[in-house]
Amino acid sequence: MSQKIVLLGANGQLGQTLTRHFKTLDHDLVALGRDALDISDETALRRILDDLAPDVVINAAAYTAVDQAETDDLDARLANATGPKHLARWAKERNSWLLHISTDFVFSGRSHRPYTPDDQTDPLSIYGRTKLEGELHVRYLARDNSLVLRTSWVYSQYGRNFLKTMLRLMAEKDSLNVVDDQIGTPSSTQGLARCIAAAVDKRPVGILHWTDAGVASWYDFAVAIQDEAISQGLLSRAIPINPIPTTAYPTPARRPSFSVLDKAETIAALDCHPQHWRRELVHVMKQINKKTPT
Ligand SMILES: NC(=O)c1ccc[n+]([C@@H]2O[C@H](COP(=O)([O-])OP(=O)(O)OC[C@H]3O[C@@H](n4cnc5c(N)ncnc54)[C@H](OP(=O)(O)O)[C@@H]3O)[C@@H](O)[C@H]2O)c1
């Protein structure tokens, strides 16, 4: 059934992918970047959403600079917690369904098995804490008409992400050191968009997890990126990539050492099946090779 959808954070990497993906579907999508709607501004949010009266709101807006958030917690909280609170309140009042994107960084990483949606959260960073606050607002204020969809290690042909940073560094440097003791799953925005489209059709409520299939360390991901980039002609030579421990690469924000997400409930609820992350990587690299806009 065709639905009226408002997408927020439309200029981010997920936002741009969703804008393209939904053009191929039978929905009426209004895509708003931060320039059109800052979700921390409740007055503007109410005016614009009241005017558009969507059946569905997808919130892909977020403050995602994980290290910068450690010294900029006010801005991180405005985007990641205050904005979702305003959205959830509006969605509850207007009986609209809210799909809110969240992160594996709500977990501490001390688990040794994939995290299920009900597992105990315990974020290590300001980014993770503000994202958890956003989740709690959404669940508390719009319990019966919202879905929190957690994902991890998001990348695409758009914007800034690990894949694009690696391609740049691999072209510039003679060798690279990459941490091999943080384990998770890369998630292409294209796979995520397919899952989100299935969720829009079925409108589940609660918390679900989505990533591509399989697991990797950042080191594994980097090695796969280099191999694929050489095979597709995006890089002309291989450089040594050295595995290093997190302790050798200190960052302002602490990150979970293990943040694999269990997707079983999502697959059952949405009948949507993730592809292995290496297959998604091949596809994203082909998009970069075609020089789609960044
Ligand atoms: N990137 C990852 O590795 C990752 C991992 C797990 C989960 N996630 C989650 O996935 C979702 C999408 O992330 P992404 O990678 O697409 O992030 P992104 O590329 O950084 O895009 C986020 C977008 O939100 C916008 N934004 C920030 N504050 C806003 C506000 N107050 N009002 C409206 N828009 C605002 C940003 O605009 P400006 O650029 O102008 O600030 C940007 O266009 C987020 O919920 C993120 O937490 C991401």
Q: Is 76 helix (H, G, I), strand (E, B) or coil?
A: helix
Q: Where do the domains of the chain lie, and which CATH numbers do they carry?
A: 4-160+187-211+262-270 (3.40.50.720)
Question: Mind listing the pLDDT tens digit of every residue in the chain (294 residues)?
Answer: 788 999 999 999 999 999 999 999 888 999 999 999 999 999 999 999 999 999 999 999 999 999 999 999 999 999 999 999 999 999 999 999 999 999 999 999 999 999 999 999 999 999 999 999 999 999 999 999 999 999 999 999 999 999 999 999 999 999 999 999 999 999 999 999 999 999 999 999 999 999 999 999 999 999 999 999 999 999 999 999 999 999 999 999 999 999 999 999 999 999 999 999 999 999 999 999 887 555
* Whole-angstrom distance, CA of residue 218 vs CA of residue 271: 29
pTM of the predicted structure, to 2 decimals: 0.96
| Amino acid letter, 222 | A
Cβ 241 under 6 angstroms from ligand 1: no
Residue from 16, 17, 32, 64 to probe ligand 1 pocket by mutation (most atoms less than 8 Å from CB): 64
Q: Is 157 helix (H, G, I), strand (E, B) or coil?
A: coil
| Per-residue pLDDT at 179 | 98
Quick: pLDDT tens for 54-75. 999 999 999 999 999 999 999 9
Instruction: Write down the H helix ranges in the chain.
Output: 13-23, 42-52, 73-77, 83-94, 126-141, 162-172, 189-202, 218-231, 264-270, 277-289
Cβ 63 under 6 angstroms from ligand 1: yes
Q: Comparing C-alpha atoms, which of 84, 128, 83, 120 is closest to residue 104?
A: 128
Among this protein's residues, is 158 annotated catalytic?
A: no
With beta carbons less than 8 A apart as the criterion, state whether 62 and 131 touch.
Answer: yes
Cβ 154 under 6 angstroms from ligand 1: yes
Whether the CA torsion 265, 87, 23, 17 is positive or negative: it is negative
* Whole-angstrom distance, CA of residue 209 vs CA of residue 261: 6
Cβ 182 under 6 angstroms from ligand 1: no
